[in-house]
Chain A
Amino acid sequence: MAFLASSSAPKGATGVLVLADGTIVWGKGFGATGSAVGEVCFNTAMTGYQEVMTDPSYAAQIVNFTFPHIGNVGTNDEDYESRVEGAVGCIVREEVTRQSNFRSEGEFVEWMAKMGKIGLAGVDTRALTRRIRLSGAPNAVIAHDPKGNFDIDALLQRAQEWPGLEGMDLAQRVSREHQEDWEGGYWRLGHGYGRASRDAKPHVVAIDYGSKDNIFRNLVKAGARVTVVPARTSLEDITALKPDGVFLSNGPGDPAATGEYAVPVIKALLDADMPLFGICLGHQMLALAAGAKTVKMHQGHRGANHPVQRVGESWGETRDLVEITSMNHGFAVDGDTLPAGVEQTHVSLFDGSNCGIAISGKKAFGVQYHPEASPGPQDSFYLFEKFVGMLG
């Protein structure tokens, strides 16, 4: 490993990453001061850092960006994926450069501070990525102190004591507290976000396990009216909203843990033949509800270049087509555990892991990846149309 396990700060070091195994990575802190604990994951996307940092699926995670220049386009008021907690911090190779973009409203460094997120610059992020590839995503504490004073022992203890994402239900932490009539439309250059029509049909109730806003914008674009409800909304409350279909959102943490309260609701909806569409965590819990199992992945899939192939007879002519997708998941549905009646519809071409299922005889399907993109390719918008289309 390429890092010095020295516990005394080198000159000029104002930030540090302390891994649970005792590895210490020094650098320059930026953004918020203090410390935060989480799992270190890497993201290989070359654009969209603001979206990543505001994606609730990254709750309790520290994002190691593989692209060296972060901050180039600053931050703006549009490129948020949520207003709740996203990633707790990020690690970048280069010191954040000043922005240059006509949509920018501020510098990334200041934005990080405002958002309470800790940044660490000047790290060999490629070496860190290789380490994650070789030995899995580590738990760690990221800390920033402009004076460079760090109690390494205390930080290490915190990293070691943190239980990790496995078994952790984070959805509750980042989910909305109240029901919301979703009003945002999709984004257009020069126009910003449109407004959703409240008269639109069909009506989709979206369960927010830590959702990205762009999912709702895409549902609106596909023609739906969307009502977003908190993660722990009961079956009765959902049914009372008279949905034509229910959407299961993405979110952070272990699907098995969140599934403890979410899966029974999903199961009941499934039994009631409610049309369902799940993304990421929602996909995983749909699989759990259908009788499959999920597993923690070695290094996870996070980036905007992941090829996913359509598999199975139901695709007809578009079988075998490849979609380039945005991904962000550390857990996955174990494809070998799919029970009869659950069809595998998509697989990752990188490692063959499950990326989509459809429940036979039901209008219910889910994908592991992020068709809402933001950041990432928009090849898979058809899924929103497919879902909204089956509600009509």
Chain B
Amino acid sequence: MPKRTDISSILVIGAGPIIIGQACEFDYSGTQAIKALKEDGYRVILVNSNPATIMTDPEFADATYIEPITPEIVAKIISKEKPDAVLPTMGGQTALNCALKLEEMGVLKQHGVEMIGARADAIDKAENRQRFREAMDKIGLESARSGVAHTLAEAYEVLERTGLPSIIRPSFTMGGTGGGVAYNKAEFERIVKSGLDASPTTEVLIEESLLGWKEYEMEVVRDRNDNCIIVCSIENVDPMGVHTGDSITVAPALTLTDKEYQIMRNASINVLREIGVETGGSNVQFAVNPADGRLIVIEMNPRVSRSSALASKATGFPIARVAAKLAVGYTLDEITNEITGATPASFEPTIDYVVTKIPRFAFEKFKGADNHLSTAMKSVGEVMAIGRNFKESMQKALRGLETGLDGFNRVVELEGKSRDVITAALSQATPDRILHIAQAFREGFTVEEVQAITFYDPWFLRHIEEIIYEEKMIGAEGLPNNAAELRRLKAMGFSDKRLATLAVRSVGVAGGLGETQAKRSGLLHDALRAMAGATSEDEVRKLRQKLGVLPVFKRIDSCAAEFEAITPYMYSTYEAPSFGEPENEAWPSDREKIVILGGGPNRIGQGIEFDYCCVHACFALSEAGYETIMVNCNPETVSTDYDTSDRLYFEPLTAEDVLEILRVEHSKGTLKGVIVQFGGQTPLKLASALEKAGIPILGTSPDAIDLAEDRERFARLVNKLKLKQPENGIAYSEQEALAVAHRIGYPVLLRPSYVLGGRAMEIVDGDAQLINYINTAVEVSGDSPVLVDQYLRDAVECDVDALCDGDDVVIAGVMQHIEEAGVHSGDSACSLPPYSLPQDIIDEMERQADALARALQVRGLMNVQFAVKDGEVYLIEVNPRASRTVPFVAKASGSQIAKIAARVMAGEMLADLPKIKRDLDYVAVKEAVFPFARFPGSDPVLTPEMKSTGEVMGIDRDFATAYAKSQIAEGSVLPTEGTVFVSVKDSDKASIVGPVQQLVDFGFKVIATGGTASYLKEQGLPVERVNKVAEGRPHIVDKLSDGEVALVFNTTEGWQSHKDSQSIRASALEMKVPYYTTAAASAAAANAIVSVNADELEVRSLQDYYG
């Protein structure tokens, strides 16, 4: 059946900002879908509030709306654009929920818009727990014993059937927000309440616990002819009880016989048929009792999902592209498999390797948050690795995580500990459980014992045990000096670094002396090397090279080599076993090539913004005629899509893995160079290893980047340029830190050196707080100093992005932050152009940026952060590389700055490239999005430590409207009436009067705590005093909990008041009351409330803005 001709325009709904449970996989799927639809000549209209996405690049859709994804706003887009159809299956739960709501509101019917990809009824049937269960009963599939509850009383009735422990899942939430496992009644009550609250339909499903059962996922695609295929099966290594997004998973399923697998396959297809998913991809999850194979359906997602992105990358089958084609009427047999170029999409990919996914967490960012994994997803990113066996795949994934692991690193806290301590550690589902398992084997636990505690399948445990056994052998005997043996070890996935660590141990110098000596040079080191085989990563590499133990590259071809693959999508492996010259399928070309190193797993501080830059580098350099080669290990990304670059290596971003790729690419054609400045800190860390290996680095030199990060070198440059920095100093001990702080004067900003995302930064106001920070937050020693900066309280912070080709400097954008300096720039809302800065200040910042770019010999992108206080410009920091703001600036200005930068890095001059638009007749506001709701117990306050997972953009004629849109897009519903609670620090009291007055005039009631209340009263404002928590009840938290407060302005000064007010912010968060923790943001919010009528917001496409 050919494509439909009765529709000609299609609205695609995106997923909005990156949040936990909904990350860049939906940019990947949306981008694929838009490309697929455009290919067929459809007019595509896109709505997505996330400016950091590739899909919102204006050249993809015909009309791109960076507008809030709310039913009201999308209805306006529909009424303006009059699309024939809406495709809601590419934007995660956000898009599905929005489309359902539009259907409910009658908007779709009113404008004659057809929902394609999934019908409203099918979505409801899949998502409504009761209907889903009835559907499963109908087709004879077992569900867990369960019941639906809308109240706590109903929940207790259900509990009688399910018993404890029981699992609570709120309806219609993504990533299981608000759900969990309850082991006792108190827990049960707490989770049911939070679940009812999180669910838009105030509904939870309570289920019998299947803890310890095996968990599987099937990725299914169905077309309108009822052709069904399974793209991939996924087996969770973590058994039931941990959200699949937080579980380590492998593909394909490894512990099912064919008979069991076919039961699951048939069941999956029957589920799609019964639910009524007529076209597109879905994901069906199963639990299997390991004792008897009893199969239970957990849930299904009638849309592309995180798992389908993983399945696509794992098999080479582009699910989103295919699903988009199916949605417009094609059938599977009519779509070509783009990987082989010869076979149709109607087949089931078969793979000849093992894929492992490990999630990445960010608990360290959220002090006080519980790091136990449960049914609510908490991970912020993931790594995928491919190997020819489970061991190789798993160890590659561990090192690709970039959490400091080289493999199964030892867990020092458990070394030599009692069996009870280790058993306790194993019984906890935490991010480190896999490492605890390995450590348990080191401590003498057996597979059976570990299995009994963790419920991991023994198949996986035995492989881990075998790895540990090999580690012990290396630790005892050093490295083998023959190729076959060394290759055998490498084929198990051991990194060179891990082998070096283990080999050094073989020398057996007590107390880790061997490890210390190994780092030095001289006779002792030589002796050590002779005994161990190698003592460092470099030496292991040299040993491998000497013995000819090199990895080969195999292709991901969706067919296990049955057909020729035309798409070069590759992974490395050590073909140890054939005892001969292993076959290498890399086949590098003879073209002039540029390698772009990606950013690895998403984490807070390094996410989609950097992938956006890498993707743009690929596009730009490809346009310029180079062969582009991408290296990355994050399955969620557009950069790892098969058609983003000319060649794709799905590999960990470690020096070892990257150097092996470069060795092969270097062997033919011309390697023009490597781009390390676009993927965040990950590839930058590899720069020195690459330079040492003689690999040309394109763009700004790593030395200049280092200069900008090295305090002393940077201070010299700043002095030379006669720029002004906040006072600062370095301390190597507590005493020194106190001395520096006294010299500068409090408040000071404390941070360890070399940071991204501001990890472990803190503002301190006095000695006690400083001492506490030094003792608890960081390790301060001769090797790791702490940096002390003058903290410019209430200064206005700005970001300036610039481009430089060595001769010429172009300013791409100046952004004024809403939150004052001190809040991490990634967490701060900002406006482009600035909304309240005088032109001379802006000119001065641009002049300084220009001078810095020239002085640093920047070739490519540069980001400078300034603080403005009392008309004075202070230089905060310079990053001569791609920064988080690049996509926002590009979207706001309509200029492809990342592409221009990539071409500059390849040697072109700015004068020959497109000009950057600076003269804007509109305002764009970026707002950060936070995951606090996922981490009960953490304080939702903004600090120098970055905590946001994503961003949205509001764009409109003026600042107030753009800001209001950014708040709506971020999820805050700004109230139009009610009570505002105000409690601000002394230094904010003067500046809060205006905003409060505005709200009062608008009809708001004001309540405030002691000091603030008195001050506001003195200023003649009607205000009612309310108790602080410490002042007795009823206090402010009681009022918040009772829903009496509509808006919170709460800023704090100093440590104690900060601690005292935490419960206010926590309950505001819980009650979903919009809260602002800075005076500047409070003012912006008040202004938006009084000057913007949400009902009258207008929508406008980027193409229209750009003109």
Q: Across the interface, which residues of A come within 8 angstroms of B484, CB to CB? A: 10-12
Q: Are A124 and B458 in contact (CB under 8 A)?
A: no
Q: Across the interface, which residues of B come within 8 angstroms of A123, CB to CB? A: 577-578
Q: Are B578 and A25 in contact (CB under 8 A)?
A: yes
Which positions 32-91 of chain A face chain B at CB distance < 8 Å?
A: 42, 44-48, 50-51, 66-69, 72-73, 76, 78-79
What 9 pairs across the A-B complex have the smallest Cβ distances?
A: A122-B577, A48-B258, A2-B583, A4-B580, A375-B258, A100-B459, A66-B560, A127-B583, A305-B348
Q: Is A189 an interface residue (CB 8 A)?
A: yes
Proximity bits, A306-317, B CB within 8 Å = 1, else 0: 110100000000
Q: Are A126 and B577 in contact (CB under 8 A)?
A: no
Q: Are A303 and B562 in contact (CB under 8 A)?
A: yes
A15 and B347 CA atoms in complex are apart in Å by 35
Smallest CB separation, A305 vs chain B (Å)? 4
Q: Is B1101 an interface residue (CB 8 A)?
A: no
Q: Across the interface, which residues of A come within 8 angstroms of B291, CB to CB? A: 102
Proximity bits, B292-306, A CB within 8 Å = 1, else 0: 111100000000000
A179 and B683 CA atoms in complex are apart in Å by 70
Q: Other CB < 8 Å A-B pairs besides A11-B484, A127-B583, A321-B227, 10 of them?
A: A2-B575, A25-B580, A79-B258, A101-B260, A103-B293, A121-B577, A122-B577, A122-B579, A304-B258, A350-B563
Q: Are A102 and B581 in contact (CB under 8 A)?
A: no
Q: Are B266 and A378 in contact (CB under 8 A)?
A: yes
A120 and B293 CA atoms in complex are apart in Å by 31
Main secondary structure of the interface of A (DSSP, over half): loop
Cβ 8 A contact of B562, one of A44, A48, A97, A307: A44
Q: Are A2 and B578 in contact (CB under 8 A)?
A: yes
Q: Is B332 an interface residue (CB 8 A)?
A: yes
Q: Is B1034 an interface residue (CB 8 A)?
A: no
Smallest CB separation, B123 vs chain A (Å)? 26
Q: Across the interface, which residues of A come within 8 angstroms of B554, CB to CB? A: 126
Q: Is B463 an interface residue (CB 8 A)?
A: yes
Q: Across the interface, which residues of A come within 8 angstroms of B110, CB to CB? A: none
Give the residue name and chain of the B residue nearest to A374 (CB): B258
Q: Are A72 and B255 in contact (CB under 8 A)?
A: yes
A67 and B252 CA atoms in complex are apart in Å by 10
A278 and B494 CA atoms in complex are apart in Å by 51
Which positions 337-351 of chain A face chain B at CB distance < 8 Å?
A: 349-350
Question: Contacts A66-B561, A100-B458 hold; do A377 and B389 have CB atoms under 8 A apart?
Answer: no
Proximity bits, B245-281, A CB within 8 Å = 1, else 0: 0000000111111111111011000000000000000
Q: Is A3 an interface residue (CB 8 A)?
A: yes
Cβ 8 A contact of B582, one of A10, A124, A306: A124
Q: Is B872 an interface residue (CB 8 A)?
A: no
Residues of A within 8 A of B (CB-CB), count:
71
Q: Across the interface, which residues of A come within 8 angstroms of B457, CB to CB? A: 100
Q: Across the interface, which residues of A come within 8 angstroms of B262, CB to CB? A: 373, 375-378
A78 and B290 CA atoms in complex are apart in Å by 18
Question: Contacts A3-B578, A93-B388, A307-B333 hold; do A79 and B259 have CB atoms under 8 A apart?
Answer: yes
Q: Across the interface, which residues of B come within 8 angstroms of A13, CB to CB? A: 579
A to B CB contacts below 8 Å, 5 in the list:
A10-B484, A67-B350, A79-B259, A122-B576, A378-B265
Choose, from B129-137, B351-359, B649-657, the stretch at the interface.
B351-359
Q: Across the interface, which residues of B come within 8 angstroms of A94, CB to CB? A: 388-389, 577
Q: Across the interface, which residues of B come within 8 angstroms of A307, CB to CB? A: 333, 344, 346-347
Q: Are B579 and A27 in contact (CB under 8 A)?
A: yes
Which positions 127-152 of chain A face chain B at CB distance < 8 Å?
A: 127, 129-130, 133
A73 and B235 CA atoms in complex are apart in Å by 14
Proximity bits, B550-590, A CB within 8 Å = 1, else 0: 00001000011111100000000001111111110000000
Q: Is A125 an interface residue (CB 8 A)?
A: yes
Q: Are B561 and A130 in contact (CB under 8 A)?
A: yes
Smallest CB separation, A302 vs chain B (Å)? 9
Q: Are B463 and A97 in contact (CB under 8 A)?
A: yes
Proximity bits, B329-366, A CB within 8 Å = 1, else 0: 00111000000000110111111111000000000000
Q: Is A387 an interface residue (CB 8 A)?
A: no
Q: Is B226 an interface residue (CB 8 A)?
A: yes
Question: Contacts A26-B579, A102-B292, A377-B262 hold; do A126 and B257 have CB atoms under 8 A apart?
Answer: no
Q: Are B389 and A190 in contact (CB under 8 A)?
A: no
- Of B1, B252, B254, most buried by chain A (CB within 10 Å of CB) is B254
Q: Is A111 an interface residue (CB 8 A)?
A: no
Proximity bits, B687-707, A CB within 8 Å = 1, else 0: 000000000000000000000
Q: Is A98 an interface residue (CB 8 A)?
A: yes
Q: Is B390 an interface residue (CB 8 A)?
A: yes
Q: Is A324 an interface residue (CB 8 A)?
A: yes
Q: Across the interface, which residues of B come within 8 angstroms of A50, CB to CB? A: 257
A41 and B227 CA atoms in complex are apart in Å by 29
A126 and B253 CA atoms in complex are apart in Å by 20
Q: Is B481 an interface residue (CB 8 A)?
A: no
Q: Are B255 and A101 in contact (CB under 8 A)?
A: yes
Q: Is A21 an interface residue (CB 8 A)?
A: no
Q: Is A295 an interface residue (CB 8 A)?
A: no
Cβ 8 A contact of A321, one of B225, B265, B294, B388: B225
Which positions 164-196 of chain A face chain B at CB distance < 8 Å?
A: 187, 189-190
Q: Are A44 and B350 in contact (CB under 8 A)?
A: yes
Question: Contacts A66-B352, A94-B389, A125-B352 hold; do A51 and B258 have CB atoms under 8 A apart?
Answer: yes
Q: Is A292 an interface residue (CB 8 A)?
A: no
Q: Across the interface, which residues of B come within 8 angstroms of A11, CB to CB? A: 484
Smallest CB separation, B835 vs chain A (Å)? 58
Smallest CB separation, B398 vs chain A (Å)? 19
Give the residue name and chain of the A residue nearest to B451 (CB): A100
Question: Contacts A2-B578, A67-B352, A129-B562 hold; do A47 and B347 have CB atoms under 8 A apart?
Answer: no
Smallest CB separation, A41 vs chain B (Å)? 11
